[in-house]
Structure 1
Amino acid sequence: MFPLIRLGKEFVKFRNAPALPYDGTHVSQHMCLPWDIDPFMELNNGRTLTLFDLGRLILAKRVGLIATLKREGWGMTMAGSCVRYRRRIRMFDRFEMRSRALGWDDRFLYIDQTMWKKNGDCANHVVYRAAVTDTDGIVGTDRVRRALGVEGVAMELPDWVLKWIEAEKARPWPPIQD
């Protein structure tokens, strides 16, 4: 089940947080709770992605994207992700989440999120490709940037993200069935 109570808590907690620039980083603190774990008593890999939603949605609020989506009648959907799991987060471990925009191409926004353990180790890292949508499909990022007021701003994607984008273009869709 989606952690709606936790999401509500995050919106309340950060309701008066200052706005962030489009390239700002939202930092939040979390704890791995009993319903987040898998049979090995650590943060479940799927729950990790769900918890990243908490940081991403508050980031979207603080940079003005949620207000823009509401004003324009747009929605947002995830169009892909690339995840690394490197360190275990166990039940009741506290961790810090950092969420930031990496940049955009003509169709997608790219969002970078990390989870950091108290000892300074990065536990998990994900890059999301997000699409803003309307009734006709994907809204181009030039239109989204205009609506956000960052029209002329260049935000170059890192080389490793560009390589991921190229790899995704080579991946067959629909998947090949044997």
Structure 2
Amino acid sequence: MHMFFRTLLHFWLSRFGRRLGHYDVARTNFITLPTDLDILKHMNNGVYLSIMDVARFDMLKRTGAWKILQDKGWYPVVVSETISFRKSLTLWQRFTIESRVLGFDDKAVFVEQRFVRPDAAGKPEVYAKGYIRGRFLRRTGGVVPVEELIEALGHVPDSVVVPDRLIEWGAGVALPATRAEAPSEWIDAVDR
């Protein structure tokens, strides 16, 4: 339940954060709490994904996208996500999540998020990096097409391009549509 309160706190704090353009890097500050730790005394891998959610909400609020979504009756959902770890975050360490919209494919938006702490020289150092592929749904039902989302957000700069490797990843990990069949079958599996 602590993530719920953390989300509310950052949702409130985002009101006071610097306003950003839709494709700017959003920096959201956190501290590793006791409830974030696993039995090895570093941040649990699942907590990274939850904190990425909080940082994306901060980004949506500070870019003004949240207001647009609310006015239109849309809300975001994660379709796919992946994360790679480099260094562990431990108790009471302060860190920043840098979030940025990378661009779109024909169905979804891609966001890169980095967990960053200063190194010995004070330069930002990446501890972990994750990517999400998300879609927007209508509260009345249905998916918001990417073209409609882009129209609502405004001009997409030419520099906003999703790397081919992420487009391939998104296609490679996609599951069937919600109304399509999705049987749980293991290739060459033996029931025991």
Structure 2 length-normalised TM: 0.82
Equivalent residue number for residue 42 of structure 2: 42
The 5 Å alignment of 1:15-164 reads 15-119=15-119, 120-134=124-138, 135-150=140-155, 153-154=157-158, 155-164=160-169
Offset at residue 2 of structure 1 (A): 4.9
Greater shift after overlay, 111-120 or 75-84? Answer: 111-120
CA distance in structure 2 between the partners assigned to 1:174 and 1:123 by the alignment: 37
CA distance in 2, matches of 1:31, 1:21: 26
Please identify, of 33-42 and 90-99, the stretch whose mean Cα deviation from structure 2 is larger.
90-99
State the SS of the aligned residue for 2:137. strand
Bigger radius of gyration, 1 or 2? 2
CA contact 2:133–2:170 (8 Å) conserved in 1: no
Map of 2:185 onto structure 1: 176
Letter of the 2:108 counterpart: F
SS at match of 2:43: coil
Tell me which amino acid in the other structure corresponds to 2:128.
N
* In 1, Cα distance between equivalents of 2:134 and 2:84: 18
Shift of 1:5: 2.4
Q: Secondary structure at the match of 1:15?
A: helix
Query: Deviations along 1:123-168, whole A, 9 cap, x unmatched?
Result: 1111001110113422111101111223x65532113212313433
> Any idea what the Cα deviations from partners look like across 1:5-31, whole Å, max 9, x if unmatched?
222222332313343112101112211
Residue correspondences, number: 176
Alpha-carbon distance in structure 1 between the residues aligned to 2:5 and 2:110: 26
Matched letter for residue 121 of structure 1: E
1:73–1:169 distance in 2 versus 1, CA, 3 Å? closer
Q: 1:45–1:174: structure 2 CA closer, same or farther, 3 Å change rule?
A: farther
Seen in structure 2, the aligned counterparts of structure 1 residues 16 and 121 have a Cα distance that, compared at 3 Å, is closer
Instruction: Tell me the amino acid that sits aligned with residue 125 of structure 1.
Output: K
Match of 2:179 in 1: none
Question: CA offsets, 1:25-62, max 9 Å, x none?
Answer: 11122111101000000000111111111110010112
Listed as ranges, the gaps of 5+ residues in structure 2 are 177-181
